[in-house]
Amino acid sequence: MENKIQRAREKLIVALDVASTEEAVALTRQLAPYAGVFKVGMQLFYSAGPEVVRHIKEQGVKVFLDLKLHDIPNTVAQAAKALAGLGADIINVHAAGGTAMLQAAAQAVRERAATLGLPAPLVIAVTVLTSIDQRTFNQEMGLTGEIEDRVKAWALLTRDAGLDGVVASPRETSVIRQVCGEEFAIITPGIRPAWSVSGDQKRIMTPAQAISAGSTYLVVGRPITGTDNPAVAAQKILQEMAEVL
Ligand SMILES: O=C(O)c1cc(=O)[nH]c(=O)n1[C@@H]1O[C@H](COP(=O)(O)O)[C@@H](O)[C@H]1O
Tens digits of residue pLDDT in 101-128: 999 999 999 999 999 999 999 999 999 9
Report pLDDT digits (tens) over 127-144. 999 999 999 999 999 999
Q: Pick the residue whose CA is nearest to atom 20 on ligand 1.
A: 221
The closest-lying atom of ligand 1 relative to the alpha carbon of residue 92 is 1
Taking the centre of ligand 1 as the mean of its atom positions, its distance from the CA of residue 117, in whole angstroms, is 30
- Pocket mutation for ligand 1, best pick of 31, 130, 172, 191 (most atoms within 8 Å of C-beta): 130
Domain segments of the chain: what residues? 2-243
Taking the centre of ligand 1 as the mean of its atom positions, its distance from the CA of residue 93, in whole angstroms, is 13
Task: Tell me whether residue 115 is annotated as binding.
Answer: no
The closest-lying atom of ligand 1 relative to the alpha carbon of residue 128 is 7
Q: Which one of the listed residues 66, 89, 164, 236 is annotated catalytic?
A: 66
Task: Tell me whether residue 72 is annotated as binding.
Answer: yes
The closest-lying atom of ligand 1 relative to the alpha carbon of residue 39 is 22
Q: Is 228 a catalytic residue?
A: no
What 3 state SS string does the chain have? CHHHHHHHHHHEEEECCCCCHHHHHHHHHHHCCCCCEEEECHHHHHHHCCHHHHHHHCCCCEEEEEEEECCCHHHHHHHHHHHHCCCCCEEEEEHHHCHHHHHHHHHHHHHHHHHHCCCCCEEEEECCCCCCCHHHHHHHCCCCCCHHHHHHHHHHHHHHCCCCEEECCHHHHHHHHHHHCCCCEEEECCECCCCCCCCCCCCCECHHHHHHHCCCEEEECHHHHCCCCHHHHHHHHHHHHHHCC
pLDDT of residue 56: 98
Q: Pick the residue whose CA is nearest to atom 22 on ligand 1.
A: 15
Q: Which one of the listed residues 4, 11, 62, 68 is annotated catalytic?
A: 68
pLDDT of residue 33: 98
pLDDT of residue 65: 98
Q: Pick the residue whose CA is nearest to atom 5 on ligand 1.
A: 129
Task: Tell me whether residue 71 is annotated as binding.
Answer: yes
Report pLDDT digits (tens) over 219-234. 999 999 999 999 999 9
Q: What percent of the chain is modeled with pLDDT above 90?
A: 99
Which amino acid is it at 142? G
Mean of all residue pLDDT scores within the chain: 98
Taking the centre of ligand 1 as the mean of its atom positions, its distance from the CA of residue 225, in whole angstroms, is 13
Under the banding of pLDDT at 50, 70 and 90, the label for residue 216 is: very high
Q: Is 66 a catalytic residue?
A: yes
Taking the centre of ligand 1 as the mean of its atom positions, its distance from the CA of residue 121, in whole angstroms, is 19
Which amino acid is it at 62? K
What CA–CA distance (Å, rounded) separates 3 from 171? 26
CATH of 2-243, one of 3.20.20.70, 1.10.760.10, 3.40.50.2000, 3.40.190.10: 3.20.20.70
| Crossing angle between the packed helical segments 99-116 and 73-84, to the nearest 10 degrees | 30
Taking the centre of ligand 1 as the mean of its atom positions, its distance from the CA of residue 190, in whole angstroms, is 7
**Strand partners for 93:** 69, 125
pLDDT at 1 over 90: no
What CA–CA distance (Å, rounded) separates 156 from 154? 5
Residue 35 makes CB contacts below 8 A (sequence gap 6+) with 9, 12, 13, 14, 61, 234, 238
pLDDT of residue 72: 98
Q: What's the mean pLDDT in 170-194?
A: 98
